[in-house]
Amino acid sequence: MSSCCSVEKVPEEKKEGLKVVALAGNPNVGKTTIFNALTGLRQHVGNWPGVTVEKKEGIMKYRDKEFLVVDLPGTYSLTANSVDELIARNFILNGNADVIVNVVDASCLMRNLFLTMEIFEMGVKNIVIALNKIDIARKRGVHIDIKKMEKVLGVPVVPTNAKEGEGLEELKRTIASMAEGRITTNPVTPVYEELIEREIEHISSLLRGTPLEEMYNIRWLAIKLLTRDQEVIKLVLDYLGSGKMDEILKHISELEVYYKRSLDIVIANQKYEFIDQLMHQFVTHFGEAKETFSDQIDKFLTHPVYGLLGLLGVFYVLFKFVFTIGAPLQELLDSAFIALGEFVAPFISNEALRGLIVDGIIGGVGSVLSFFPLVFLLFVAMSILEDSGYMARAAVVMEGIMRKFGLPGKSFIPMVLAFGCNVPAIMATRTLDDERDRILTMLINPLVPCSARMVVITFLAGAFFSDHKALVAVGIYAISLFLALLSALILGKFVVKGEESPFIIELPEYSSPSLKVALVHSWERSKEFLRKAGTVILFGSVAIWYLSNYPEPIGNGLSYAEKLGKVFEPFTVLMGLDWKAAVSLIFGIIAKENVVATYGIIYGIGENEEALISLMQNAMTPLQAFVLALVTTLYIPCIATIGAIRAEGGNKWAFVASIYNLLLASVVGIVVYNVGLLLGL
Amino acid sequence: MVMLMYVRLTQMREGEKGVVVDIQGGYGARQRLLSMGIAPGTKIFVLKSGNPGPYIIAIGNTRIALGRGVAEKIVVRREL
């Protein structure tokens, strides 16, 4: 995990001189709902610099003033153990926010106040607490005296029910007053046992007078040192030198011997005890934890058998929804691009330029973009499942199965989405917290056949195996899924190293998702993908267009594409495929369904399917067709997918995925073809 | 039958209550558990148990699912 933890400490530039409001809080506390309510969906989704953690920003208006609201990643604490936590921590430490809104779930106060105490300990003062889900807390019999809570914690507390819009005006008003410096606060900080306090004081005395005192809260540094926070140890080492650091570490070890456990446990324990004391001052009734209706549902939805059936059902409905709406839109967009090309063509007199623009850019980019409705709808479906709370249950059901292949249960979701389209599937990998899990899931994702490859598989299965077409098609799916899981094991061992992450996941309360929010969010994410993958798609489209039109148009064997096919032929022939297949596979990189269409172009018969089938039947044996379908499924991902991997994982992993897939396809193709020949097929 | 007082979470059965007394295991997993409210002194209620996991526990109104590996590391004092 070491690579993940060096998130750079770059001070955020303040946009247009707007005051900055940062939202911090645990996952599942309704932070996003509050964000949406404050910004009224005037928002922008991007990434934090250098990492693939989603960054949401929006503008909040109060009276005549505007504020920039930043949604920090949802975290349970502010350690250096995950990218999310480091981002939130550095943002707060750097003083980037004029106001920090700590969103707290009133129905799980104890755990939520743990993060609150971590923020308070950092020495920041400009904090407002949004006590959200106050309605649920009341329903559970929890009574909170808000006035007393403000007094005990030393910061303003605004009770909210963000779903219903309750308390939001008050929250805005408080934020605005604090931003203008009209509220003074005095956040309470935890007091620890004598022995711990003495050590905190000792470390603090060493740190005082160093430049660190100017930049950080000394007490916070001391407490973080006691918990052996790697980032803080590194930081302090630079200023104190190893002699004094060794002395500090020696003291820590002595204390650990005394307490008979690690100090991070001792400190967390005492922090919870402190919170418990605070809570007794302002919580008058605590309510009783008991099994609820939601727990009954969970027993069913996380059951190894029923849960799995439920999961299949949910994803069946998901795909039904996505394809019923998406497929007609896809065709519409496709014909729109063709129409656009035809419209533009007469205006460009230069033939080469017209080819470049009409066939290369509009045609190529259009064929990739026609998948856009599918991508967008899959995002919408995902977003709804995520907001409803179901995703966490799906992760629990799949944990046992996926773990056998070195992957967490959550990685199942990107794999399922890939049956629709690999692009949203790869973008969905960012819900995995662990860097290793994320990269691994991303690398094996292209091996799951998407809907474009289904076109090729069913076409070839239908043309060559009319009696057993379903069996053949299912066989190809089974082989590629098997290879995906096998690859997870192999890549996890030799390429993407690191420890498997422990399985700890909160099951948030079920809630009814908002379609409006899902639409806005999905639109932002789809746009982000286009912006990032756009260059790859454009470049790829133009390159393929050039290869197929120079020095002469494809069809008579003189184009670079056909020549390239012939260059590859000595290699592809090992798997029984001639240069035509090689050319088709090159075109398939634009979009996999091109593999079949390219045959039509090479034979010069366009889209006449019957003629194409009979020509292909004469030129290929069923074994060769099977290998072609298999290789099409496995080799280099399409450019949109490569673009997605590049956007999410960087150039290195986009390259690794492409090469690995190509190697795998080659090996499998050669083996299957030759075994088939031996069997006399 | 003798009921052990101190057990690992994996040995707890559905419907049983207990108090966390210790968390073993690696730094990362431990920090995660601590911040999610699973610390020594925390009262838990086992909602789902049994091999091979995952285990589901309730802490107040929070529900947390844990893999077997993690559940093994949590030592609980059983409350009858």
- pLDDT tens-digit readout, A14-29: 456 899 999 999 998 9
Judged on CB neighbours under 10 Å (0-12, 13-18, 19+), A673 is: buried
- How confident is the model at residue A455, as a pLDDT? 84
Interchain pair A289, B27: CB under 8 A: no
CA distance A19 to A228: 35
CA distance A547 to A560: 5
- Is A140 within 8 Å of chain B by CB? yes
DSSP result, A309-346:
HHHHHHHHHHHHHHHHHHHHHHHHHHHHHHHHHHHHGG
Interchain pair B40, A269: CB under 8 A: yes
- Is A259 within 8 Å of chain B by CB? no
The yes-or-no verdict on residue A567 having pLDDT over 70 is yes
CA distance A560 to A548: 6
Query: For the stretch A537-547, what's the b/e string if a residue is b when 16 or more beta carbons lie within 10 angstroms of its beta carbon?
Result: bbebbbbbbeb
- How confident is the model at residue A2, as a pLDDT? 35
Share of chain A above pLDDT 90, in %: 54
Angle at which helix A651-678 crosses helix A639-649, to 10 degrees, equals 140
- How confident is the model at residue A15, as a pLDDT? 54
pLDDT tens for each residue of A49-84: 777 678 889 999 999 999 999 999 999 999 888 888
Q: Which spans in A40-108 are helix H?
A: 83-93
CA distance A16 to A227: 39
ipTM confidence:
0.94
pLDDT tens for each residue of A377-399: 988 998 898 889 998 999 999 98
CA distance B39 to A270: 10
- How confident is the model at residue A551, as a pLDDT? 86
- How confident is the model at residue A289, as a pLDDT? 67
Angle at which helix A451-464 crosses helix A469-494, to 10 degrees, equals 140
Strand-pairing partners, residue A260, are none
- How confident is the model at residue A9, as a pLDDT? 43
Average pLDDT estimate for A404-429? 89
pTM for the complete prediction? 0.84
* Residue pointed to by tokens 């007053």: A177
In chain A, positions 402-431, which contact chain B (CB-CB < 8 Å)?
A: 403, 409
Print the SS3 string covering A134-173.
HHHHHHCCCEECHHHHHHHHCCCEEECEHHHCECHHHHHH
Asked whether the beta carbons of A289 and B45 are under 8 A apart, the reply is yes
Interchain pair B33, A1: CB under 8 A: no
Average pLDDT estimate for A556-575? 89
- How confident is the model at residue A539, as a pLDDT? 80
The yes-or-no verdict on residue A575 having pLDDT over 80 is yes
* Residue pointed to by tokens 């009814």: A512
Interchain pair A264, B26: CB under 8 A: no
Is residue A4 very low, low, confident or very high in pLDDT (cuts 50, 70, 90)? very low
* Residue pointed to by tokens 């994702």: A445
- Is A291 within 8 Å of chain B by CB? yes
Strand-pairing partners, residue A104, are A131
* Residue pointed to by tokens 């779903």: A163
CA distance B22 to A576: 62
Choose the closest CB to B41 out of A136, A273, A503: A273
Asked whether the beta carbons of A515 and A377 are under 8 A apart, the reply is no
- Is A114 within 8 Å of chain B by CB? yes
Using a CB-CB cut-off of 8 Å, the residues of chain A touching B36 are 76, 111, 504, 506
A241 min Cα distance to partner chain B (Å): 24
Using a CB-CB cut-off of 8 Å, the residues of chain B touching A136 are 61
pLDDT tens for each residue of B33-47: 999 999 999 999 999
The yes-or-no verdict on residue A132 having pLDDT over 60 is yes
- Is A199 within 8 Å of chain B by CB? no
Q: Which helix (H) or strand (E) holds A387?
A: helix A372-388
For B34, nearest residue in chain A (alpha carbons): A268
- Vertex A345: Cα angle to A343 and A349 (nearest 5): 140
Higher pLDDT, A475 or A374: A475
Average pLDDT estimate for A347-371? 82
Choose the closest CB to B36 out of A1, A302, A504: A504
* Beta strand extents in A394-511 (DSSP E only): 504-506
Q: How many contiguous H segments (helices) and E segments (strands) does chain B have?
A: 2, 6
The yes-or-no verdict on residue A606 having pLDDT over 70 is no
Q: Which spans in A550-650 are helix H?
A: 560-572, 579-588, 594-603, 609-619, 622-634, 639-649
The yes-or-no verdict on residue A6 having pLDDT over 60 is no
Closest CA to A55 of A29, A83, A82: A83
Torsions phi, psi for A281 (to 5 deg)? -85, -25
- How confident is the model at residue A16, as a pLDDT? 63
Using a CB-CB cut-off of 8 Å, the residues of chain B touching A117 are none
The yes-or-no verdict on residue A1 having pLDDT over 60 is no
pLDDT tens for each residue of A529-559: 777 677 777 887 788 888 888 888 877 778 8
Cβ atoms within 10 Å of A29's Cβ, excluding its own: 25
The yes-or-no verdict on residue A652 having pLDDT over 70 is yes
Is residue B3 very low, low, confident or very high in pLDDT (cuts 50, 70, 90)? low
Tokens (6 digits) for A463: 């043309």
- Is B50 within 8 Å of chain A by CB? no
pLDDT tens for each residue of A153-198: 999 999 999 988 999 999 999 999 999 999 999 999 999 999 999 9
Using a CB-CB cut-off of 8 Å, the residues of chain A touching B41 are 269, 272-273
Torsions phi, psi for A667 (to 5 deg)? -60, -50
Give CA torsion, residues A102, A103, A105, A109, to 10 deg. Answer: 0
Angle at which helix A293-301 crosses helix A306-344, to 10 degrees, equals 80
Tell me the residue type at A661. N
Higher pLDDT, A489 or B1: A489
- How confident is the model at residue A7, as a pLDDT? 45
Higher pLDDT, A80 or A608: A80
The yes-or-no verdict on residue A34 having pLDDT over 90 is yes
- Is B21 within 8 Å of chain A by CB? no
Interchain pair A295, B34: CB under 8 A: no
CA distance A248 to A277: 30
- How confident is the model at residue A11, as a pLDDT? 44
Average pLDDT estimate for A500-511? 87
Q: Give me chain A's average pLDDT, please.
A: 89
